[in-house]
Amino acid sequence: MDVSNRRALPGLAYPEDYLKRLADDLAVRFTGIFSLETVERYVLESYAALLRVSRVKAHLATRTVRFAADRLTALAQAKGAVPYEAHEVLFVCVQNAGRSQMAAVLTATLSGGAVHVRSAGSMPSHELNPAVIAVMEELGLSMSQEFPKPLTDDVVQAADVVVTMGCGDACPIYPGKQYQDWDLTDPDGLDIDEVRQIRDDIADRIRTLLAGLGVSAVAL
Amino acid sequence: MDVSNRRALPGLAYPEDYLKRLADDLAVRFTGIFSLETVERYVLESYAALLRVSRVKAHLATRTVRFAADRLTALAQAKGAVPYEAHEVLFVCVQNAGRSQMAAVLTATLSGGAVHVRSAGSMPSHELNPAVIAVMEELGLSMSQEFPKPLTDDVVQAADVVVTMGCGDACPIYPGKQYQDWDLTDPDGLDIDEVRQIRDDIADRIRTLLAGLGVSAVAL
């Protein structure tokens, strides 16, 4: 059988041992809630899911741990094993590269931590939209820790408010949650002035959302 | 808070109770291997993953069960809880809509069942390529049970041979597996004559692959 030299192949060497060590560390945080096997599954599947959509591989392991930890926390919340410390709002758009990312960071900031936020995309992009990063930096808000993530079941289960933005049928409507659908322009391909307008539109909607949750918005 | 009427929203009602019943049934097949909780997680996450990429929702529940069952079987094989009954070959392309789908069905057919096959895509498409369905039907091979699926960690773990087709860095190279990278034209957008040539090219490569595995190819 003609098996090609592995080094000549496309694809990234799979850091299985390293990921398993990361899972071991993460499992400590979920002792008594999830088995090591479950945590390891989440880490390995989260890695595979992010790898598929990432062009830059430099931060993949770090992002995997954050994504897996956040999903496991969501799952633990949904099954009542971890208390909700704040309202849980989930923003879902198509690429998780612009609208839902701005909304997540703006909500966390405007709520002064009184709302916990997650975001996801039905068809996640490779990277964040650079114009989005720029207009958020104008407000002093860094997007450097954010990255596009696929919509997973666990984060919807954990949310009490889900805000969808143009993902149509790809966003399932789970029972027992509050939904809002925001009709926002997709910033993909727009110039920075237009993206700035979308950012301000999102900020206005978030102030209304926070008021509805009984949370006072702080000044930006 | 302005919560829109759920029926006015985009998105599909999430059939949580139905999916949980499907998970209950599926869990019986994995008694002593996976907990009901694990099976339920796989069913719900598989549903979310397929929903994100599906345009036609009619077969979603059926496909979810097949996808989840296949992933759980792969996971059980990888951890040694279920014996391998045949060589496990995994085909991975970008969309899992053409090349890897043809390769999977052709390998299952040409091997006469001596090889078990899975396929996946790094960025799965909404549906199979109609030209691919047509040229496979010319050989009397039905693609009606096939659908695009995202590449997941479990199916790579279970494979002993992985054949990649143009997915580049999105295909991780796992240690301990045999790899081949096939340089095939992407049938997306090509006319039926060209797709037929790709099909025949794939069939030839599969005969070589099977010979390398010590499996005699049957006549089509």
Neighbours of B28 (CB within 10 A): 9
Which residues does chain A have within 8 Å of residue B9's beta carbon, measured at their own beta carbons?
Answer: 164, 173, 179, 181
**B178, B81 Cβ separation under 8 angstroms:** no
Here the tokens at position A45 are 């599947």
- Tell me the C-alpha distance between A35 and A40, whole Å: 9
The closest of A136, A108, A104 to A118, measured between CA atoms, is A104
Nearest CA in chain A to B44: A153
Here the tokens at position B104 are 């999977």
Cα dihedral A72, A74, A78, A80, rounded to 10, equals 70
The three-class DSSP label of residue B151 is: coil
| Mean pLDDT, residues A69-97 taken together | 95
Shortest CA gap A166–chain B (Å): 8
Q: What is the ipTM of this complex?
A: 0.90
Q: What is the pLDDT of residue A175?
A: 83
Count CB pairs under 8 A between chains A and B: 163
- Tell me the C-alpha distance between A112 and A106, whole Å: 10
**B3, B49 Cβ separation under 8 angstroms:** no
**B86, B113 Cβ separation under 8 angstroms:** yes
Which residues does chain A have within 8 Å of residue B107's beta carbon, measured at their own beta carbons?
Answer: none
Domain locations in chain A? 14-83, 86-220
Domain formed by A14-83, architecture = Orthogonal Bundle (1.10)
CATH assignment of A86-220, among 3.40.50.2300, 3.40.50.740, 3.20.20.140, 3.30.1490.20:
3.40.50.2300
Q: pTM score, two decimals?
A: 0.92
Shortest CA gap A96–chain B (Å): 13
pLDDT, tens digit, 9 for 90 and up, residues B98-150: 999 999 999 999 999 999 999 999 999 999 999 999 999 999 999 999 999 99
The closest of B146, B84, B41, B45 to A152, measured between CA atoms, is B45
The highest-confidence range among A65-74, A165-174, B170-179, by mean pLDDT, is A65-74
Which residues does chain B have within 8 Å of residue A164's beta carbon, measured at their own beta carbons?
Answer: 9-11
Which residues does chain B have within 8 Å of residue A167's beta carbon, measured at their own beta carbons?
Answer: 10-11
**Phi and psi, residue A190, nearest 5°:** -85, 160
Question: Using CB atoms, which residue from A9, A170, A174 is nearest to B179?
Answer: A9
Shortest CA gap A102–chain B (Å): 21
Q: What is the residue-averaged pLDDT of chain A? A: 92
Q: What is the DSSP letter of B168?
A: G
Here the tokens at position A159 are 């949310």
Strands B178-181 and A87-93, bridge-based pairing: unpaired
Amino acid at B85: E
The three-class DSSP label of residue B202 is: helix
Domain formed by B85-220, architecture = 3-Layer(aba) Sandwich (3.40)
Q: What is the residue-averaged pLDDT of chain B? A: 92
